[in-house]
Chain A
């Protein structure tokens, strides 16, 4: 290992990356925290904290306003819904990966077809599912009519209902490509498992469920950790598909924190307030990921 000691070249090699990374990733994190205590409008050159420009306001007044805003809590609840229901995708992904983990050259074109939704832009996915869920002529209505679950003269519009229904439509659309991504990660995990595990367990008299529960799943844990974290982040930053399918509507019933943040910032030009939403979103993500990793660690000891 001594041979590998080279005091300067690692930093020379890393330098361009660190400059870019620092400029576009690290600095922005700090700067968003700073902006969250300002009332920046996006135009004035450099914003100062609110409590300095007007001493009677608190520096945290963006946050007090945020926690009193109805739309914030609405969006927050929707993100919680996302966490729960978008969280189904790892199960689909695992099922598909286990099902398609077979020894045959013919399986690979089928796998390619299963990957397809993941390759599509979420904008495209959102457009497709919007047509599917159209009342009257959409595929969902067509199938309901065919199965006689809906009288021919009636329409069922998931996206135009009030309440939770439109959320179901948007999340369903998002589960589709994300399950494909989870499947890929699980397929990679499966092919990493030692080859003789299967036989050894079967010789020991384990049935298929015991095999899955006691042997395969524990060994897939590294893949599961990645899949769960990717899914949590995906649920929290849901934006594209909501923007294209509902733009938060009807009556803000599908708004998410990411969309709320975008609207306040780039539509209402309240950059400071938008930054405070981003900070809250960031804290929730970091908190969730750390809690999950701690839970994993606990399980290991």
Chain B
């Protein structure tokens, strides 16, 4: 559908709407820059008198956030690569290769993205601690994230692949390329927008995970930033300035990824949800 041309009234309303919408974030940002004395005077929703980054330094150094921050990357990056690798391959297979059982496999992946994850909670815990021995390790959480997101990611990639004409693959086949070669030299380059969109979503979801780290991780030194944040909430009960700084630190990587890939994100999502 053709978008309309905005008028000045639109910009006025839009600006007000956006400001109200993100006011919780602005308030958190302001709080994170204040001292505890200032907060105790009840000045919660004003600009800080002295701008300083002490809370961030405090959270990062004394709160151990630097460590939790790195942990979150250790969980997120390998999971992301694993899911992208497997789901783009699956997307190719499920949309461009003809074989018996294709529809059933597609349905299986689709069903996986619709189930409430509570049904997996206890067995995954059981599996990790009693059978695979991956309880309380980076690997255990990473493997689970890959498996859990495969359903959604494969379905997304399949939908995107459907918009790529079969003739391109046919031409490569005529040149004598094997399926694997077709995948990495023809299909993969065409999938870039979808990979960008999917990576943005997956990065956000895995980075922000709280429950699975809570279930599968016990040692403090392996905790990601989300569970650490919850602990720190208990530790600094009414130091809202420190908590705010922690909250902002935890949000920076997904915000950056999102801002960076935004253009690709909407485009890729549009094509992915096309069919």
Contacts and interface: CB of A to CB of B under 8 A. Distances in A.
Contact of B230 (A6, A118, A123): A123
Contact of B269 (A106, A184, A239, A282): A184
Interface string A15-57: 0111011011111110110010000000001000000000000
Contact of A6 (B15, B179, B233): B179
14 contacts: A1-B166, A20-B147, A20-B150, A24-B120, A27-B123, A32-B122, A116-B25, A116-B255, A119-B254, A123-B229, A129-B24, A142-B44, A199-B2, A237-B117
Interface residues of A, number: 107
Q: In this complex, which of A5, A28, A199 has the most chain B Cβ atoms within 10 angstroms of its Cβ?
A: A28
B162 interface: no
A282 B116 contact: yes
A101 B1 contact: yes
A103 B3 contact: yes
Contacts of A25: 112, 115, 120, 147-148, 150-151
Given A28-B124, A102-B10, A261-B121, A16 B86 contact: yes
B210 A279 contact: no
A216 interface: yes
A110 interface: yes
Nearest to A16: B86
B5 A104 contact: yes
Interface stretch (A81-89, A149-157, A163-171, A187-195): A187-195
Contact of A118 (B109, B204, B247, B272): B204
A119 B255 contact: yes
Interface in A96-140: 96, 99-104, 106-108, 110-124, 127-129, 131-132, 137-139
Q: In this complex, which of B3, B27, B229 has the most chain A Cβ atoms within 10 angstroms of its Cβ?
A: B3
Contacts of A282: 115-116, 118-119
A189 B121 CA distance: 33
Given A11-B99, A113-B18, A131-B240, A21 B112 contact: yes
Interface string B213-248: 001000000000010011001000000100100010
Given A128-B24, A279-B119, 9 more contacts: A20-B147, A28-B127, A100-B14, A104-B5, A122-B208, A124-B250, A185-B269, A185-B273, A195-B1
B96 A4 contact: yes
A198 B90 contact: no
Contact of B1 (A13, A18, A112, A190): A190
A223 to B, nearest CB: 7
A10 interface: yes
Nearest to B112: A25
A245 B232 CA distance: 14
A251 interface: no
B45 A139 contact: yes
Contacts of B226: 121, 123
A278 B119 contact: yes
Interface in A255-272: 257-258, 261-262, 265-266, 271
A274 interface: yes
B115 A195 contact: no
B126 interface: yes
Nearest to B102: A10
A199 B4 CA distance: 11
Nearest to B128: A24
B89 interface: yes
Contacts of B116: 233, 236-237, 258, 278, 281-282, 285
Nearest to B109: A21
Contact of A99 (B17, B143, B204, B243): B17
- Size bracket of the B interface: 35 or more
3 smallest CB-CB distances across A and B, nearest first, come from A28-B123, A24-B147, A193-B1
B127 A102 contact: no
B75 interface: no
Contacts of B98: 1, 4-6
Contact of B14 (A99, A188, A223, A289): A99
B115 A29 contact: yes
Contact of B6 (A107, A139, A279): A107
A197 B28 CA distance: 43
A185 B184 CA distance: 29
Interface stretch (B54-62, B63-71, B259-267): B259-267
Nearest to A289: B114
Contact of B97 (A10, A118, A192, A266): A10
B154 interface: yes
A14 B150 CA distance: 11
Given A5-B98, A6-B99, A103-B5, A13 B273 contact: no
Given A21-B112, A124-B250, A192-B273, A112 B27 contact: no
A23 B147 contact: yes
Given A10-B99, A28-B124, A233 B114 contact: yes
Interface in B85-102: 86-87, 89-90, 92-93, 96-99, 102
A275 interface: yes
A71 interface: no
